[in-house]
Amino acid sequence: MDKNQALTIYESLARPPESALRQIEAGKLKGKTDINPQWRYKAMTEKFGLVGIGWKYEVQKLWTVQGAGAEILAFAQVAVFVKDGDNWSEPIVGIGGSKLVQLEKGAAVSNDEGYKMAVTDAFSTALKMLGVAADIYAGLWDGSKYRDTPPAQPTDPKPPTPPKQTYDPPKQMKGGETTQEERARLNELCNAKYANGQQIFTKQEIQQYLAYRAEKFTAAELIEHIENALRNRRADAPELAAEFKEDIPY
């Protein structure tokens, strides 16, 4: 069997009919889709022939594990085989589990179908690798509608955009009022960013520059002072400033 034939078989088994599905309404799997085991048997028979002749499975191992409190867990290991011409495949192994003893309303209750349920679970796990009901497990088919693509994977949230900083001159200013052009240039400098979008000056640094405007610098002198600071930041972090587009005369 070549890989194209294998893929054709896989895809033909991937989507069970809606009649074979039901929504799980309680327990840890609430909201998930349950698949009727009988559909799996039928799907394998349609694809490979009568069980025991065209395909087969064997229970290789059964065991129990002590669960939480009084619970006892049952596990099964099942191997599935399919026939290709006159040859049987290697074992396709699945492991599944259920509960032999479980707690219900605080009391330990026996489950006489615990091993049966564990075998069914292991069997379905092995068949996943042949493609049986694969679209359910991949999230492409939920029992009510088809989806063209798997559900989108969550992505890392984008960091919040820092608020834009505005030059707000103090009431008392050295050298008189700031002109409209000077105010625009100061706003531009206060909001300068590196190539990666990181703000160059912190809020505290901007506040310090504004304090300089009151007694230390005229507007033109403050602009020159901040431009010099930008040049120094570029020199200190060339990898961040590689695409820095702030227009500062050199």
Q: Annotate 149-164 with DSSP letters as a single string.
A: SPPPPP-PPPPPPPPP
Do 219 and 102 fall within a single domain? no
What is the pLDDT, as a whole number, of residue 164? 63
What is the pLDDT, as a whole number, of residue 161? 64
What is the pLDDT, as a whole number, of residue 65? 93
Do 179 and 244 fall within a single domain? yes
| Residue found under tokens 């690798």 | 129
DSSP 151-201: PPPP-PPPPPPPPPP-----SS-TTSPPPHHHHHHHHHHHT-B-TTS-BSS
Question: What CATH number corresponds to the domain at position 40?
Answer: 3.30.390.80
pLDDT tier, 223 (very low <50, low <70, confident <90, very high otherwise): confident
Element (H, E) at 63: strand 55-66
Do 82 and 172 fall within a single domain? no
Which of 104, 138, 172 marks a domain boundary? 138
| Residue found under tokens 């989108």 | 152
Bigger pLDDT: 185 vs 34: 185
What is the pLDDT, as a whole number, of residue 101? 92
Q: Is residue 154 part of a domain?
A: no
What is the pLDDT, as a whole number, of residue 97? 93
CA distance 88 to 81: 6
Q: Is residue 107 part of a domain?
A: yes
| Residue found under tokens 């890989």 | 3
What is the pLDDT, as a whole number, of residue 159? 60
Q: Provide φ and ψ at 10, rounded to 5°.
A: -55, -50
CA distance 213 to 58: 85
CA distance 188 to 186: 5
CA distance 13 to 127: 10
Do 134 and 168 fall within a single domain? no
Backbone CA torsion sign across 89, 90, 91, 94:
negative
Backbone CA torsion sign across 132, 137, 138, 140:
positive
pLDDT at 48 over 90: yes
Q: pLDDT averaged over the chain?
A: 80
pLDDT tier, 167 (very low <50, low <70, confident <90, very high otherwise): low
Helix (H, G, I), strand (E, B) or coil at 243: coil
For the whole model, what pTM was predicted? Answer: 0.52
CA distance 45 to 10: 14
Do 104 and 175 fall within a single domain? no
Q: Is residue 157 part of a domain?
A: no
CA distance 249 to 192: 15
Proportion of the chain in helix, strand, coil states, percent, rounded to 5: 35, 20, 45
218 is in which domain, residue-wise? 163-250
Q: Are 119 and 59 in contact (CB under 8 A)?
A: yes
CA distance 39 to 222: 78
Q: Is residue 47 part of a domain?
A: yes
